[in-house]
Amino acid sequence: MGTHNLEELFQQKIDKEVKIEPKDWMPEAYRKTNLRQISQHAHSEIVGMLPEGNWISRAPSLKRKAILIAKVQDEAGHGLYLYAAAETLGQSREQMINDLHSGKAKYSSIFNYPTLTWADMGAVGWLVDGAAIMNQVMLTRTSYGPYARAMVRICKEESFHQRQGFETLLVLSKGSKEQRAMCQDAINRWWWPALMMFGPRDSESTNSDMSMKWKIKRKTNDELRQQFVDMIAEQVKLLGMTLPDPNLRWNESRNHYDFGEINWDEFWQVVKGNGPCNKQRLDARRKAWEEGAWVREAAQAYANKQRTRKKAA
């Protein structure tokens, strides 16, 4: 059976919505694309713990503290599910972590923005998790089995995050003058970065074609972004707040919201590493990893000793 036949069989599976599993034959490019996408998704979950973790010690009530800790812990768990899925494609966790720390692997740019006030916890939950969910629901139907299954598990847990974020802002929007101002300010700072989460315009997105053909991606960047704008433009009304886009308006003929142009300069600068927190995020992850080396070594050393003792016994 030649490679050409294997390629045909592979594409047939994709077209028939049969999932691809770890041991199935797959084009090298398919494997590489999935590995890159899944591992970067995993890195995003882990790095994403940092901007929110920033407010755990200062959460303004015990209930909010518990909710925030649970949310950040969920993100750690999601990172774990995704690293597990990525490892089925031939790269070890350690290799992936090294790629993150060296700057070779990317993570979602949104986490390079700082969380400046408590209201940011609400905005991040509502907008950032909201955008992520849109992407994630689509990915539950991705063609690679382990990735799709990880996404199903993640989506179950994710909707609680978005609701909590919105609810945090709702309480602020009904509160004191300072709380209301804090709420609007956070929305103003997180709106455009959230839109940037959907990536470059379709016309400038290089990976799209093959990703769509292989059903790694099920919807385009622009499609998802439009869906998100339509949803948030309605939800913001419930908060009595505005989105910082003077060009946002309902277009009857398109049956969608028109919205303004993203600052693509900012987008590319942050991707390149010049966002407000890029260095700080990676420094934190590197530090945790390096300072944890003695712990990991000790645990491994102990396990080795135990194995030797059991054999001798």
Partner 1 sequence: MLHFIKKLYYGDIPDANSGAAPSSDQQQAVTDWPLWEVFIRSKQGLDHKHVGSLHATDAQMAIENARDVYTRRQEGVSIWVVESKYITASNPAEAGELYEPAADKVYRHPTFYDLPDEVKHM
Partner 2 sequence: MQQALLDYTLYLADSALILGQRNSAWCGHGPVLEQDIAITNITLDLIGQARSLYQYAAQLKGGEATEDTLAYLRSEREYKNCLLAERPNGDWGQTILRQFLFSCFQRELYTWLAKEKDATLAAIATKSLKEVNYHCRWSGEWVVRLGDGTAESHTRLVTALENLWPYTGELFKGADYEVALGLDPATLHTSWLSAVQSTLEEATVSLAPHASCFMQLGGKTGVHSEELGYILTDLQYLQRVYPGCDW
- Binding footprint of partner 1 on the chain (CB under 8 A): 1-3, 6, 9, 21-26, 28, 31, 35, 77, 80-81, 84-85, 87-95, 98-99, 101-105, 150, 153, 293, 296-297, 299-300, 302-303, 306
Q: Convert residues 75-104 into a mask of x (bound to partner 2 by CB under 8 A) and - (unbound).
A: -xx-xx--x---------------------
Closest by CA to 30, choosing from 241, 168, 215, is: 215
46 binds partner 2 (CB under 8 A): yes
197 near 109, Cβ under 8 Å? yes
Q: What angle do CA 209, 212, 217 make, to 5 degrees?
A: 125
For the record, the structure tokens of 46 come out as 């882990």
The helix or strand, by DSSP H or E, that contains position 100, with its residue range, turns out to be: helix 93-102
Give the Cβ contact number of residue 16 at 10 Å. Answer: 7
- When the beta carbons of 95 and 242 are compared against partner 1, the nearer one is 95
Q: What's the closest the beta carbon of residue 294 comes to partner 1, in angstroms?
A: 11
Site of tokens 């990172």 = 79
Residue 92: contacted member of partner 1, partner 2, none (CB under 5 to 8 Å, by partner type): partner 1
Closest by CA to 266, choosing from 160, 172, 178, 191, is: 191
150 near 136, Cβ under 8 Å? no
Residue 89: contacted member of partner 2, partner 1, none (CB under 5 to 8 Å, by partner type): partner 1
Site of tokens 């919205």 = 259
105 binds partner 2 (CB under 8 A): no
Residues near partner 2 (CB under 8 A): 46, 49-50, 53, 56-66, 69-70, 72-73, 76-77, 79-80, 83, 118, 168, 171-172, 174-176, 178-179, 284, 287-289, 291-299, 301-302, 305
